[in-house]
Chains A and B, each alone.
Chain A
Amino acid sequence: MAVTVPARRARVFGLAAALMVAITVLAAALAHAQGTSTGRVPLPLETVLPDLERLPPDIRAIRERGYLIVAMTAQDRYPFYYTNDDGQLTGFEVDMARDIARHLGVDEVVFDRTPPTFNAVIEYVNEGKADIGLSKLSISLPRAQQVLFTRPYLILPQTILANRVALAAARAGSNALQVLQLPGMRIGVIEGTVYVEYGRNLFPNAELVLYDSPEELFNAVINAEVVATAYDQAMTSGLLHQRPELVIYLQEQIIPGIVDPLAIAVPWQSVWLRDWLNTYLDLRNEQWTVQQLFQLYPLPSAGVY
């Protein structure tokens, strides 16, 4: 039963409808034409350097030597410091170290890769064998007794990387933080890291399984030997960035309330250098996410894990 409309009114209606369509098209075109762009401005380099005799001893020593010594662990940590396809050391922290050297007024950076572990980097800096330790170093209270830390330049969220099938097998939903509260859940962590302690505190009913390397740990999660692992986002997202197909099988979840602040370590005597580095970081005023770093630093074709 169609409603009948007189011919003239039909024409008016037709016109009104055509007008409405035209306005819609115009509005859509205008909305579509708008765009935004963002850009990151690098910190400008001062051309005139202060005289040597005006400098405090710790900064002066670097200027006199002519190069900056940066301690980093022997093992690469993508995207912070790693070897690219051209065989060159690159990464977020490598670029930052070079930028720091330029602003200090030295041309060269020596990357000392002797320390085998992160704690060894701290000891190395504490002994004055390097000017700075810039090696994905987490601030911790025991470490802060041995070295001075700058303010954080990157705050890494901490994550749970769970095997989706193993998680669902508990029949308790997909929120890993809740499911891992159940008794008897197996959680993998790397021995000697803060995550052993975190695991115990966050998941008191779980059974912690210790692994030696990220490779072993990740394989255990992929093969469902453990339900999940606790690690920082750079590692878990890095794995998924390198092997995207794993996203089908693994679920990454940020642990709310716990963060891992990364900072530069300097010898405890180098107070002026530490203050200068804080000023440097203040002026850089950058806030990065791990995902942005993945975009900026391409994966080496050989992979990193």
Chain B
Amino acid sequence: MSRIRVFEWLTSVWAIIAAFVLGGLMGLYAPGAAPFFARIGDVYVTFLIMCVPPILVTALSTSIARLLIDPQAGIHLGRTALGLLASMVVAAGLGVAGMMIFGSGSNLSAEAQLILGNMLQAVGPVANTSSSWGEVLMDLVPANMVAALAEGNYPQILFMSVLFGLLLGLVRLPASDRMLELLELVYQLFQQAIRWSTYILPIAVVGIIAGQVAQVGAELVVALGRLVIAQLAVLVGAGVLGLIVMKGMMKISWHELWQAMRRPVMFGFATQSSMAAIPLLMEALEQLRLPRSKIQLIVPLCVLIGRHAFVMYGAMSLIFAMQLYQLPVNAAAAANIVFGSAFIAAATAGMPAVPFLTALTIVARPIGVPLEAVIPILLAVLPMVDPLGTAAAVQAQGAICSLIIGTRESAARVPGRDAPASAPTASTS
């Protein structure tokens, strides 16, 4: 009994908070030991990221194939695209508004400028990769499928998964169903691997946080206090907005909602990887009685493309740069920033912060904003805001999924949440 309770406690909010505090203290008071523990955290996150491509490929391709085989399931792709775009524009708008309210980039003190300058010199120049809008779209088709997987090029993996799903659904051969079952199996195995790995999550969190705290240093917090506050305020706002939308869509109590969403949100908070939270988010939405076949299609798409945290970081970076260089933020520039950040976040699906922020130069260029010196500044504060950012993003993605899947399906609730009525495995056998 007690062992079961220990295991339960390990996946609770309290274990994560305890690990955060422990990691924070270690980073502050034993920075020498921090790199060692940080490595353990890194290995854990690497393991999670390793599990993402198989989950992604199998979930997307099987759900697209099944949609084509069984048209009654209803295709939501148009609604998905619209919902994602709208939510990302809202996220970018929140970012712009937050920065305008806090004015984080303007009138930096001489001391703050000195700290930033020293930091910029220490990190060196950013790689000069000014591509254009067209190039981003053209890069979607991989020259080599294996290379795309090996490099973790998520936009290309996305393209391949959709193509594979379309082929599986359109070309009906005797072996097609077995292939679908096999993909489903791979999906479930990796989902289970991530579920089990949440037991060692607290240990990993100690390492992740210790490494980040030791890395950031108090100096930078002093220099960029207003930026961090603005970012945290916007992220909290976005997370709360997500919860409200989701509550309205599901028509359930706050308690019920949090019981379902707490695991993916906490997991995102702890690992700072919303992709690694995909399996847990799917589980949470199933728990909220959304149909599994749609969850499998829409959740991976939403998490991969709807990068709400990055959209906010992007919009805020651009406004921060304009304030820093005393450029006037007019309506045209703001509109450019809102839509541009949303597009870039979607186009760099699955990529980490560095290539995303570098790709933002595509937005910065036509409005004459220098971004090269701002990117390292934003990357330096990222560890401070990203736990909350990922949690807010996971919450927002849950909200978008519930919006897209809609109330009708959830209203026609099946009696038991594990009932196979809508489970794809049942329809094939």
A164-B117 contact given A2-B195, A173-B361, A174-B128, CB 8 Å threshold: no
Interface size class of A (residues with CB under 8 A): 35 or more
Given the known inter-chain contacts A167-B370, A173-B365, A175-B130, please indicate yes or no for A32 contacting B39, CB distance below 8 A. yes
CB within 8 Å for A247 and B372 given contacts A32-B35, A164-B325, A175-B130: no
Residue A96 lies at the interface, judged by CB distance under 8 Å to chain B: no
CB distance from B337 to the nearest CB of A (A): 14
Q: How far is the CA of A170 from the CA of B110 in the complex (A)?
A: 28
List of B residues within 8 angstroms of A6 by Cβ? none
Contact of B366 (CB < 8 Å), options: A3, A171, A243: A171
Contacts of B117 in A (CB 8 A): 240, 243-248
Partner-binding segment picked from A17-25, A72-80, A184-192, A281-289:
A17-25
CB distance from B65 to the nearest CB of A (A): 21
Residues of A within 8 A of B113 (CB): 245, 248
Mark B354-383 against chain A: 1 for CB-CB distance below 8 A, else 0: 000000010011111111110000000000
**A residues near B188, Cβ cutoff 8 Å:** 3
Query: How many angstroms from the CA of A169 to the CA of B196 in the assembled complex?
Result: 53
Within B395-426, the residues touching A (CB, 8 Å) are: 417-418
Docked complex: A241-269 residues within 8 A CB-CB of B: 241, 243-249, 251-253
- Nearest opposing residue in chain B for A170, CB measure: B368
Among A169, A173, A248, A253, the residue within 8 A (CB) of B120 is A248
Residues from chain A with Cβ under 8 Å of B373 in the complex: 164, 247-249, 251
Residue on A nearest B324 in the bound complex, by CB = A248
Task: Give the dominant DSSP class at B's interface.
Answer: helix
Task: Choose among A17, A164, A169, A241 the residue that contacts B200 (Cβ–Cβ < 8 A).
Answer: A17
Q: Are A245 and B43 in contact (CB under 8 A)?
A: no
Tell me how far the C-beta of B202 lies from the nearest C-beta in chain A, rounded to whole angstroms.
Answer: 12
- With a CB–CB cut-off of 8 A, which chain B residues contact A168? 364-365, 368-371
Q: Which of A25, A168, A173, A241 has the most CB of B within 10 A?
A: A168
Alpha-carbon separation in the docked complex, A171 to B362 (Å): 10
Question: Is the CB of B147 closer than 8 A to any CB of chain A?
Answer: no
* Given known A-B contacts A3-B188, A171-B366, A174-B372, A245 and B40 have beta carbons under 8 A apart: no
Interface residues of B in 193-208 (CB under 8 A from A): 195-196, 199-200, 203
User: Which positions 6-40 of chain B face chain A at CB distance < 8 Å?
Assistant: 35-36, 39-40
Q: Does A165 contact B (CB under 8 A)?
A: yes
Annotate A68-105 by CB proximity to B: 1 below 8 A, 0 otherwise.
Answer: 00000000000000000000000000000000000000
Name which of A171, A246, A248 has the most chain B CB atoms within 10 A of its CB: A248
A45 within 8 A of B: no
Bound-state CA distance A3–B194 (Å) is: 12
- Chain A residue numbers with a CB within 8 Å of B195 are 2
Count CB-based A-B contacts (< 8 Å).
92
B40 interface neighbour in A24, A171, A246, A251, Cβ under 8 Å: A24
Report chain B residues within 8 Å CB of A245. 110, 113-114, 116-117
A243–B113 Cα distance when bound, in Å, is 10
* Chain A proximity of B417: nearest CB distance (Å): 8
The answer to whether A1 and B361 touch across the interface, beta carbons within 8 angstroms, is no
**Interface members, chain B 96-127 (any A CB < 8 Å):** 110, 113-114, 116-118, 120-121, 125
Whether the pair A172, B365 counts as a contact (CB closer than 8 A) is: yes
With A3-B188, A24-B40, A164-B325 known to touch, is A248 a contact of B368 (CB < 8 Å)?
no
A residues less than 8 Å from B192 (CB atoms): 3
Chain A residues contacting B39 (CB-CB under 8 Å) are 28, 31-32
- Tell me the residues in window 152-188 of chain A with beta carbons closer than 8 Å to chain B beta carbons: 164-165, 167-175
**Assembled-state Cα–Cα distance A251/B125 (Å):** 9
- A28-B43, A247-B120 known; A165+B327 contact, CB < 8 A: yes
Residues on A with C-beta less than 8 A from B130 are 173-175
A29 CB-CB contact with B under 8 Å:
yes
For B361, what are the chain A residues with a Cβ–Cβ distance below 8 Å?
A: 173-174
Verify if B286 is at the interface (C-beta below 8 Å from A): yes
Contact B370 A174 (CB under 8 A): yes
Do the beta carbons of A29 and B36 come within 8 Å of each other?
Answer: yes
Q: Are B114 and A251 in contact (CB under 8 A)?
A: no
- Decide yes or no whether A198 CB sits under 8 A from chain B: no
Chain B residues with CB below 8 A from A251, complex form: 125, 370, 372-373
What CA separation (Å) do A253 and B368 show in the bound complex? 19
Q: A13 on the interface (CB 8 Å rule)?
A: yes
Q: Report A245 CB to chain B, min CB distance, Å.
A: 4
Determine whether the beta carbon of B365 is less than 8 Å from that of A171.
yes
Asked whether, in the complex, the Cβ of A165 is within 8 Å of the Cβ of B325, the reply is yes
Q: Bound state CA distance, A167 and B40, in angstroms?
A: 43
Residues of A within 8 A of B417 (CB): 1
User: For the complex, what is the distance from the CA of A24 to the CA of B203, rounded to whole Å?
Assistant: 12
A1, A24, A248: the one within 8 Å of B418 (CB): A1
Given contacts A165-B325, A244-B117, A28 and B40 within 8 Å (CB-CB):
yes
Please give the distance in Å from A242's CB to the nearest CB on chain B.
Answer: 11
Nearest CB to that of B283 among chain A residues?
A1
Contacting B at CB under 8 A, from A204-258, are: 240-241, 243-249, 251-253
Contacting pair A13 B372 (CB below 8 A): no
Interface 1/0s, chain B 120-141, versus A by CB < 8 A? Answer: 1100010010100000000000
A98 to B225, CA, bound (A): 49
Residues of B within 8 A of A (CB): 35-36, 39-40, 43, 110, 113-114, 116-118, 120-121, 125, 128, 130, 188, 192, 195-196, 199-200, 203, 283, 286, 324-325, 327, 361, 364-373, 417-418
14 A-B contacts, Cβ less than 8 Å apart? A1-B417, A1-B418, A24-B43, A29-B36, A168-B364, A168-B371, A175-B128, A175-B130, A244-B118, A244-B121, A247-B120, A247-B121, A247-B373, A251-B372
Known contacts A171-B367, A247-B117, A249-B325; 5 additional CB pairs below 8 A are: A21-B203, A28-B40, A32-B35, A174-B128, A244-B120
Q: Measuring CB to CB, which residues of chain A are less than 8 angstroms from any residue of chain B?
A: 1-3, 13, 17, 21, 24-25, 28-29, 31-32, 164-165, 167-175, 240-241, 243-249, 251-253
- Report the 5 A-B pairs with minimum CB-CB distance, sorted nearest first: A244-B117, A164-B370, A245-B113, A28-B39, A168-B370
